[in-house]
Amino acid sequence: MMTGDTSPDERRVLLDRWAADKIDLMVATSAFGLGIDKSDVRTVIHAQLPETVDRFYQDVGRAGRDGCASISLLVNTRYDWRAVGGIGRPKFISAAFGLQRWRRMHDASEVLDPASNQRLIDLNTGRELDMGASDYNRAWNLRTLQLLQRVGALEFVHSARAVTACQVAVRLEAYRHLDEDFWNTTIEQLRGELRGDYAHSGELLRRMLRDNDECLANVFASCYRSETFDITAVQACGGCPACRRAGRVPDCGRIIARRNPSGPVSPSAGDVELERLLGGRRSAFIFYPPDFFHDALGGILAEPLWWLATHGVKNFVAPPWLTPLLWRTAAQAPHATLFWHEKPPRNLDVVAAQATAVLLTRPEPSWWPEFWAKIATRPGPSIVFAPADLRCPDVRTRMVRDLVDGSTMDLAQWENRFVA
Ligand SMILES: [Zn+2]
């Protein structure tokens, strides 16, 4: 059992025994979970409500890191709801105390590199003189630095000079970070946003448990999606309570999130049939009849996508409304691991060296030049689907199909050559 009162020595012994599989069951407060990376945790039991869906997700994420099945049990009573929003509430330092702490840390810091404005900060610096080397003090100092980091006023950097856990190296932006005005406006605004995020995450948890009719994957996705930071979340559910009740078949594990693993990849198509489609070029354009849209488009593209998925194409870049089509493709190609990406021009960088299929409908003129340049220069092969009557957005009199430098064919021609 581990709580906030466990001494550091006891804690170390417990963690060592836990790591060595000498302990079967660890009962702990929520602080325990942080930094625990044991791959074969099989079950996480919440004896109390986590305060937000974010917290819940972090906790259950301790289980099944070896990729094997694991269980999450949430045992709560209606009385637990009162505690939510109380003890576990995240702590945001006030602007006044934050500035006070920051000034002291800044004044006491050591300049590492004047040119790049790097400094070594001691987290044991006290807000007042009587504070010093305590966990409490360090935690508040770190929260202060994190606030500055989130508004872009500083960046944590690596330095060989930061030798103890109480020292952090930072690079300061040329910023008004010591101004009261800056703290009262920019930092205050961030604090408001963070509190809003927290409230939202708490509300999601309530929705998830109280209503119990929404797939958990949807709840998590709405928590982790960010337009601002261009983060999409892909729903994959192996059978949550809501889905089981609704009789939905588990559908998970093959379409993986947008960021794909890095690693050595062959710039060649790597598949004989795919090479034939490319005809020695770096890109192939397949033009579909222009009168197909939305649902109907999903129908006519299903077969070519499946074909690509079974011939080594892992990445599909498509507008979000085509996602159901990609799901169906994944279901039909059970052994392929597929990645899907939104926002066509930007995400071509993410998968630069890999064979990638792009589904174009009506490209935005604003991103067309960028898209065009990327298709022409990316090292990996591209297979682009486009409507046959697509005109070049910048030179409206010209048809895209007459301009492209690549293997081109109509969908019907593709069918004749590759399916029949
Ligand atoms: Zn579900």
Confirm if 186 and 173 have CB atoms less than 8 A apart: no
Cβ–Cβ contacts within 10 Å for residue 81, how many?
A: 14
Q: How many whole angstroms from 245 Cα to the centroid of ligand 1?
A: 9
Global confidence as pTM: 0.46
Q: Which of 89, 71, 81 is nearest to 30 (CA)?
A: 89
The per-residue pLDDT for range 292-348, each reduced to its tens digit, is 666 677 788 888 988 998 888 888 888 777 877 877 777 777 666 777 777 677 777
pLDDT at 119: 92
Q: How far is the CA of 242 from the centre of ligand 1 (A)?
A: 6
pLDDT of residue 84: 56
Cα(217) to ligand 1 centroid in Å equals: 6
Centre of ligand 1 from the C-alpha of residue 213, in Å? 9
Q: Which CATH class is domain 272-418?
A: alpha beta
Going from N- to C-terminal start, the domains of the chain cover: 8-78, 95-184, 213-253, 272-418
| Assigned token pair, 316 | 């599909």
CA 350 to chain centre: 13
CB 142 within 8 A of CB 123: yes
Q: Are 216 and 237 in contact (CB under 8 A)?
A: yes
- pLDDT of 235 reads 66
For residue 140, how far is the Cα from the chain centroid?
27
SS3 of residue 247 by DSSP: coil
The confidence score (pLDDT) of residue 128 equals: 60
* CATH hierarchy code of domain 95-184: 1.10.10
CB 333 within 8 A of CB 312: no
Looking from the CA of 129 toward its CB, the CA atoms found within 13 Å total 0
State both tokens at 370.
């960028």
Low-confidence ranges of the chain (pLDDT < 50): 34, 87-88, 253-267
Q: How much distance in Å is there from the Cα of 71 to the middle of ligand 1?
A: 14
What class is the 8-78 domain? alpha beta
pLDDT of 411: 92
Q: Which residue(s) pair with 348 in the sheet?
A: none
Share of the chain above pLDDT 70, in %: 81
Q: Measured in angstroms, how far is the CA atom of residue 222 from the centroid of ligand 1?
A: 14
Using CA atoms, how far apart are residues 339 and 313, in angstroms rounded to an integer?
Answer: 9
Å from CA of 314 to ligand 1 middle:
25
What pLDDT, on the 0 to 100 scale, is given for residue 254? 44
Distance of CA 334 from the midpoint of ligand 1 (Å): 20
Give the three-state DSSP class for 399: strand
CA distance 95 to 188: 6
Distance 264 CA to ligand 1 centre (A): 34
Burial class (CB in 10 A: 0-12, 13-18, 19+), 163: exposed
Q: What is the pLDDT of residue 106?
A: 92
Does this chain's domain 8-78 share its CATH topology with 95-184? no
Q: Are 103 and 133 in contact (CB under 8 A)?
A: no
234-239 contact pairs (CB < 8 A, 24+) = 234/258, 234/340
